[in-house]
Amino acid sequence: MEGDIAEMGKFIGAGLATIGLGGAGIGVGHVAGNFLAGALRNPSAAPGQMATLFVGIAFAEALGIFSFLIALLLMFAV
């Protein structure tokens, strides 16, 4: 049993780390969803806001990537 309990903690922690991925998913969905709602109302303005769309997605996605990193670290590094 030596080490088994610590192993268990790693695996539960890695699973829990996906909560961050879920939250980032909500955030990214909010960015892209609002872009689409606005772009379909005023399509001529959409190309000018494309850069902001990707900035917003990148910042929200980064938080999900950090969570993914924590899950990977828990499974393979610590």
Site for a copy of itself in 59-78 (CB under 8 A): 59-64, 66-68, 70-78
* Least distance from a copy of itself to the Cβ atom of residue 51, Å: 10
Q: How many residues does the chain have?
A: 78
Answer whether 12's CB lies under 8 Å from 45's CB: no
For residue 16, what are its two tokens? 């829990």
For residue 37, what are its two tokens? 């709602």
> Please, which of residues 43-62 interact with a copy of itself by CB under 8 A?
43, 45-46, 48-50, 52-53, 55-57, 59-62
How many positions of this chain bind a copy of itself (CB under 8 A)?
Answer: 71
